Amino acid sequence: MQNRYGKLASWVYDLDKPVGHSFGDQEFYRARLSQCDSGPVLEPAVGNGRLFIPLIEAGFEMEGFDASVEMLGYCREECRKRGLSAPLTQQSFESYVSKTRFSAIIIPAGSFQLITSTASATAVLRRFHDHLAPGGRLILDLDPIGGFLDSPESVRSWTTDEGDLLTLTARRVETDYIAQTTLSHLRYEHWRDGVLAATELDLFKLRWWGVHEFELALRAAGFTDVSACGGYQHGRAPDRDDQIISFEARRPA
C-alpha cells in the first residue's frame, strides 16, 4: 500500500493539481530545458501530466513513466483530448530501462523523495546518469526538511462537477530521524449523496535530504557541474525560508 497512488488518490491529485497548474516549476523547467542540448526529455513519475503536457505543447520532445496505472490513465486521457502523442510507460524508478539517451531528465515536485531507501536512491541516480546522453542534465526538486515536519495532521476536501465529495485525511504516524523518513497514513473517501461510496488507505513514506548531502550523492553517481538553487530562481543559493530546492547536474561529455 506504500506510495501507490490508487484510484481515489489519483482522482484527488488530478482535481488538486490539474494539467497546467504551476507552483513556479512550469516556468522554471521550461527555461532550464531551453538551455539544454536538443533531444528527448524524460519525466519519471509523470503523474497526470501536470508539467509533462505543457512541455510537449511548448515544443519539447517528451517521454514519461509512472508506477501508477491510474495516474498514467489521466495523463493519456489529457494527451488524447489535446491531440498529443508521447511515449508513456508503466515503470518504477528502480526498474526503469530504455534504449533512449536523453538530453535531460526532470523530476519536479519532490517526486524523487518517494524513494525512501538510501541505497535505492543512489542506484536510481546512477541509472539516470547512464540514461543521459553525454552532456545531458538531471534537474530535480526536493522539499526541505521543514515541509516534512509541519502539521502532523490535516483534512482537505474537493467537490466534483457532479457534486460528489472527496476528502483526504493525512496523519503523520512515524518520523525516523536516522533514516530521514516520515510515514503518513492518507485516508481518501468518496461521498455521494451523503453515503460513503469508496474509501482508500495509502501508506505515504518520504525521505528528506540535506542540500550538501544530495550534492555529494549526485557527484558519487558520476555527475559534474552540480548546483542547487532556491525558490525556482536559478543562480540563487538556497536559504532557510525556501519551500523548494532545485538541483541541476550534468553527465560529463
Q: pLDDT at position 117, please?
A: 96
Smallest CA-to-CA distance from 14 within 62, 59, 56, 53 is with 53
Q: How many other CB atoms are there within 10 angstroms of residue 163's CB atom?
A: 9
Residue type, 73: G
Instruction: Find the helix or strand (DSSP H, E) in which 57 lies.
Output: helix 52-57
Question: Do 101 and 220 belong to one domain?
Answer: yes
Q: pLDDT at position 1, please?
A: 58
- pLDDT higher than 90, residue 147: no
Question: Do 194 and 227 belong to one domain?
Answer: no
The arithmetic mean of pLDDT across residues 54-79, rounded, is 97
Q: pLDDT at position 156, please?
A: 97
Give the residue carrying C-alpha cell 506510495. 3
Residue type, 7: K
Question: Do 69 and 106 belong to one domain?
Answer: yes
Question: Do 134 and 165 belong to one domain?
Answer: no
Q: Evaluate whether residue 157 is within a structural domain.
A: yes
Q: Evaluate whether residue 190 is within a structural domain.
A: yes
- pLDDT higher than 90, residue 234: yes
- pLDDT higher than 90, residue 150: no
Q: pLDDT at position 169, please?
A: 98
Question: Do 185 and 195 belong to one domain?
Answer: yes
The arithmetic mean of pLDDT across residues 139-156, rounded, is 91
Q: Which domain holds residue 13?
A: 7-144+208-250
- pLDDT higher than 70, residue 219: yes
Residues 112-122 have pLDDT tens digits of 999 999 999 99
Q: Evaluate whether residue 25 is within a structural domain.
A: yes
Question: Do 136 and 234 belong to one domain?
Answer: yes
Question: Do 126 and 56 belong to one domain?
Answer: yes
The arithmetic mean of pLDDT across residues 212-234, rounded, is 98
Q: Which of 119-128, 141-150, 223-232 has the lowest mean pLDDT?
A: 141-150
The arithmetic mean of pLDDT across residues 36-58, rounded, is 97
The arithmetic mean of pLDDT across residues 150-154, rounded, is 87
Q: Evaluate whether residue 39 is within a structural domain.
A: yes
Question: Do 151 and 177 belong to one domain?
Answer: yes
Question: Do 187 and 119 belong to one domain?
Answer: no
- The rounded distance, in Å, linking the Cα atoms of 166 and 159 is 6
What is the chain's mean pLDDT, rounded? 96
Q: Helix, strand or coil for residue 49?
A: coil
The arithmetic mean of pLDDT across residues 15-26, rounded, is 96
Question: Do 201 and 128 belong to one domain?
Answer: no
Question: Do 21 and 95 belong to one domain?
Answer: yes
Last residue of a domain, one of 172, 188, 207: 207
Domain count along the chain: 2
Q: Evaluate whether residue 1 is within a structural domain.
A: no
Residues 84-136 have pLDDT tens digits of 999 999 999 999 999 999 999 999 999 999 999 999 999 999 999 999 999 99
The C-alpha angle 115, 117, 122, rounded to 5 degrees, equals 80
Distance of CA 139 to the CA centre of its chain: 11
Q: Evaluate whether residue 136 is within a structural domain.
A: yes
pLDDT band at 174 (very low <50, low <70, confident <90, very high): very high
Q: Evaluate whether residue 2 is within a structural domain.
A: no
The arithmetic mean of pLDDT across residues 150-174, rounded, is 95
Last residue of a domain, one of 192, 207, 222: 207
Residue 82 belongs to domain with CATH number: 3.40.50.150
Instruction: Find the helix or strand (DSSP H, E) in which 8 lies.
Output: helix 7-16
Question: Do 84 and 42 belong to one domain?
Answer: yes
What would the DSSP string read from start to end of 73-102?
HHHHHHHHHHT----EEE--TTT---S--E
The arithmetic mean of pLDDT across residues 30-38, rounded, is 95
Q: Where are the beta strands (DSSP E) in the chain?
A: 41-43, 62-66, 88-90, 102-107, 132-142, 153-159, 165-176, 181-192, 195-207, 224-230, 245-250
- The rounded distance, in Å, linking the Cα atoms of 54 and 9 is 22
Residues 6+ positions from 98 with CB-CB distance below 8 Å: 42, 63, 131
What predicted TM-score, i.e. pTM, was given to this entire model? 0.95
Say if strands 132-142 and 102-107 run parallel, antiparallel, or are unpaired: parallel
